Structure 1
Amino acid sequence: MQRRELIAAGLAAALPSLGLAQALEKTKITISVGGKNLFYYLPLTIAEQLGYFKDEGLDVTIVDFAGGSKALQAVVGGSADVVSGAFEHTISMQLKGQPMRAFVLQGAAPQIVLGVNPKTMPDYKEIADLKGKKIGVTAPGSSTNIVANFVLAKGGLKPTDVSFVGVGAGSGAVAAMRAGQIDAISNLDPVATLLARSGDLKIISDTRRLDEAEKVFGGPMPAACLYAPQPFLDKNPHTAQALANAIVRADKWIQQAGAGDVIKVVPESYLLGDRAVYIDGFLAAKQALSHDGLFPAKGAATAYRAMASIDKKIAAAKVDLDALYTNAFAKKANAKYPKG
């Protein structure tokens, strides 16, 4: 028996990933995301490209959709396990009786830019000028739509005062703006930087900057994160921990990286044909990305206030803020990877 135990111990030492995989409740995981190429979700791509998921014993498939609302639908419909999406969706899902909990943070601020089209709105002066106009968003109901609603409300407009058009998060969004098909756009980098540099976007609200994001929302506004149905987290705590470990490592890698490092890792298609624009976009977005995967203490309350201000049903509802997120997984991940 002693010899068998020694052999087993030797195998475990030689094959640590095998032992880790056996400890996971579920090794094959599908993550849905809306606009994978965006800096908003850069930690997800870094974790995938640098093999951090594999290091944790996970076989991860990432399915990309046009926007966060469609990524959420994939999990609700059962074709994906976890969403890489905007934190505020956890609020709407709790109110629908389908509790979702965020368990590791990717974005410390929304990084969403709202701007007008200089071609179709050359005389733009204030938010009220957007009444009756077409605003491009990644997908109706996504975080870009929600942030646009919030900014519109501050200018005295209701969501019904404008027309929202889904344009995606890549070259389609750029083309729609340049062709004058939309009068304004709520989108993210690298799309925002590309349009601004070419003179096709006049920025009126920029939540890539932490100070402006806090000013707009009145507090820390958590953004991209991994969230999943509460039953998934209950049944698969070790798998959720492995996912959190990979994202926290990616968060920390990004903060230590330069733009050149990132360009070497991400797929060529992410650059939208212009490396200089991608570098500028990364530098603009870097400060708004999470440093450690932890949710700020007042983040859930800020997100709730933002959504309640534009939705009377949410304002009238009772929301359990503590049930929207947990830092338990991210804390363990930081203990395991203190330096990334």
Structure 2
Amino acid sequence: MRVFLCTDMLKKSWLRAERIGMERLPRMSRRVFTGGSLLTAATLGLPALYAQTQPETRKVTISVDSKNTFYCLPLTISEQLGYFKSEGLEVGISDFESAALALQAVARGSADICSAGFEHTLHLQSMQQMYQSFVLQGRAPQVAFGVSPQNLPGYQSITDLKGKKIGVPALGSSSAMMASMVLSQGGLKAGDASFVGVGKAADGALAALRSGQVDAMSNTDPLMTMLEQKGEVRIISDTRTLKGTMEVFGGPMPAACLFAPLDFVRKNPNTCQALANAMVRGLKWLQTAGPGDIIKTVPESYLLGDRGLYIASFNKVRESISLDGILADEAPRTALKALASFDASIKTGSIDLGKTYTNVFAQRAKERFKA
């Protein structure tokens, strides 16, 4: 298992992973970025674009970063309950082990939409690739950061992680970003700790902790709840709650969302509206669904053979799920500030946040379904 230096190496690996395949992505017309009328039509939804109610593209492929996690639960619910079909869409979902691989699928043309963390739209724009989020799934990252009582029995503060190894699902993941923020806030510098990719599978993460390959873990549920229940980790920072997210990031931090190349959003507004409709309908269903309803709806494999664990995990992340698919205006600013605090490649002055997201589609869906 390879070990990577914190922050500096993480940043390089993150950017390198996202650049793979990006060179094949056609450059968009300069008019997309400078033509006020085209950009306004894409982001503000002029009536002319919505005169046609049928999706321009009925068959849509969504690449997903770990679909079986709660991070992407709204997508699974909308799929399982047939909400995409109700909107006249045939949606295929391709599941990947990391956001970098999911992004590559869009870049290479094998997927139209990506379901992953909002922060990737910022990284892509820093590389002159314009992607736009159009419906939010999570209003908190759902990541928990814990230390191993076995490997760090005397842990007292973040500085105790100096020289230690931290397990994350993958380099460049939201879990790695959250861990980097916590380390930075605790006074650790680049290279003071190391990241190790352990994936999101329970067996691999547990083995890494017990064998001493990692001393701490930053990951999502249901894995982190399982590790808590087994006494394998002691949680020291938690963004599964809105309160914990505010403590780490200083504001609302957008998590998983559906985003696509800005050119796709501009050319397919009715398709994006249909997707947003299905997602917001799923979010509304989740507002009143009980744990038993969730268990009956998601695939059996998601439960990891332990329904009690799955329910406990759902209860921990429930408030982090978006209510209506809309990004709070301050959320993208929080994400940009967070990334720029430990990633020198992100220049706040060069990022146009207005091009990274639009609430037009989610707002229309919210009004339609009274979410």
Scaled by the length of structure 1, what TM-score is found?
0.90
Given candidates 231, 250, 257, the residue that maps to 1:218 is: 250
For the residues of structure 2 that align with 1:316 and 1:289, how far apart are their CA atoms? 27
Counterpart secondary structure, 2:350: coil
Q: Deviations over 1:131-161 (max 9, x none)?
A: 2222111111111111111111111223432
* Residue equivalent to 2:182: 151
Counterpart secondary structure, 2:160: helix
Give the aligned residue type for 1:130.
L
For the residues of structure 2 that align with 1:279 and 1:154, how far apart are their CA atoms? 32
Aligned 8 A contact 1:87 1:102 in 2:
yes
Q: Deviations over 1:58-88 (max 9, x none)?
A: 1111111112222122212222111111011
Q: Say yes or no: does 1:299 pair with 2:331.
A: yes
For the residues of structure 1 that align with 2:183 and 2:107, how far apart are their CA atoms? 29
Q: Say yes or no: does 1:99 pair with 2:134.
A: no
1:75-154 equivalences under 5 Å are 75-154=106-185
Aligned 8 A contact 1:149 1:158 in 2:
no
* Residue equivalent to 2:351: 319
* Residue equivalent to 1:60: 91
Once the two structures are TM-superposed, the CA of residue 268 in structure 1 deviates from its matched residue by: 1.3
Once the two structures are TM-superposed, the CA of residue 56 in structure 1 deviates from its matched residue by: 1.0
Counterpart secondary structure, 2:156: coil
Given candidates 286, 289, 295, the residue that maps to 2:318 is: 286
Once the two structures are TM-superposed, the CA of residue 175 in structure 1 deviates from its matched residue by: 3.7
Once the two structures are TM-superposed, the CA of residue 320 in structure 1 deviates from its matched residue by: 0.8
Counterpart secondary structure, 1:205: strand
Aligned 8 A contact 1:309 1:315 in 2:
no
Counterpart secondary structure, 1:313: coil
Give the aligned residue type for 1:219.
G
* Residue equivalent to 2:18: none
Larger displacement relative to structure 2 (61-70 or 183-192): 61-70
* Residue equivalent to 1:17: none
Runs of 4+ in 1 over 4 A off after TM superposition: none
Aligned 8 A contact 1:117 1:180 in 2:
no
Q: Decide whether aligned partners of structure 1 residues 151 and 245 sit closer, same or farther in structure 2, where only a CA change above 3 A counts.
A: same
Counterpart secondary structure, 1:23: coil
Count of residue pairs the alignment pairs up: 319
Larger displacement relative to structure 2 (102-111 or 64-73): 64-73
1:18-97 equivalences under 5 Å are 23-97=54-128
Q: Say yes or no: does 1:263 pair with 2:295.
A: yes
Q: Deviations over 1:164-215 (max 9, x none)?
A: 2222223233443344332111111111111101101110110011012112
Q: Decide whether aligned partners of structure 1 residues 316 and 50 sit closer, same or farther in structure 2, where only a CA change above 3 A counts.
A: closer
Aligned 8 A contact 2:126 2:345 in 1:
no
For the residues of structure 1 that align with 2:303 and 2:111, how far apart are their CA atoms? 27
Once the two structures are TM-superposed, the CA of residue 163 in structure 1 deviates from its matched residue by: 2.1
Aligned 8 A contact 1:174 1:191 in 2:
no
Percent of matched pairs sharing the same residue: 55
Aligned 8 A contact 1:139 1:167 in 2:
yes
For the residues of structure 2 that align with 1:217 and 1:234, how far apart are their CA atoms? 31
Aligned 8 A contact 1:105 1:222 in 2:
yes
For the residues of structure 2 that align with 1:175 and 1:27, how far apart are their CA atoms? 44
* Residue equivalent to 1:273: 305
Aligned 8 A contact 2:337 2:348 in 1:
no
Aligned 8 A contact 2:225 2:313 in 1:
yes
* Residue equivalent to 1:185: 217
For the residues of structure 2 that align with 1:214 and 1:22, how far apart are their CA atoms? 39
Once the two structures are TM-superposed, the CA of residue 43 in structure 1 deviates from its matched residue by: 0.1
Counterpart secondary structure, 1:60: strand
* Residue equivalent to 2:368: 336
For the residues of structure 1 that align with 2:253 and 2:223, how far apart are their CA atoms? 21
1:249-260 equivalences under 5 Å are 249-260=281-292
For the residues of structure 2 that align with 1:49 and 1:231, how far apart are their CA atoms? 29
Aligned 8 A contact 2:59 2:90 in 1:
yes
Give the aligned residue type for 1:252.
K
For the residues of structure 1 that align with 2:79 and 2:146, how far apart are their CA atoms? 32
Which ranges in structure 1 are unaligned for 5 or more consecutive residues?
Answer: 1-20
1:170-209 equivalences under 5 Å are 170-171=201-202, 172-209=204-241
Give the aligned residue type for 1:100.
Y
